[in-house]
Structure 1
């Protein structure tokens, strides 16, 4: 998948700049950046279930270990 992104970025950049040494170097840079961004996106998608699981575990632990705060009745006034 990432190789395909690299080829597409390289080809499009060569079409835009023409075939020269500067054009080839620019195409390599653009294709590498495109692969880097695509790789980061793929890693986020791959790790998303584990990140959600970690958030759920932390939430459950905080709910279990939360101190019990007494609930006061706010609207009940004394008549003193």
Structure 2
């Protein structure tokens, strides 16, 4: 297959009604990788505000779930 034949090729079409921003963290392809530095930083901020200690060895998916939970507890929810 030549490079020019990929011009019209697509991968992972979005289904109608799906919002990729709302994908369940447990379904993430990279969800089992270590959390990112920005996640760790934000989680640290939220945990301090909530007066909680959170493990520093979370996966991306686990960190996202903790961030969402702590946003609700601290009133910093994005919704």
Larger Rg over CA atoms: 1
Structure having the higher helix fraction is 1
Alignment TM-score, normalising by the size of structure 2? 0.27
Q: TM-score, normalised by structure 1?
A: 0.27
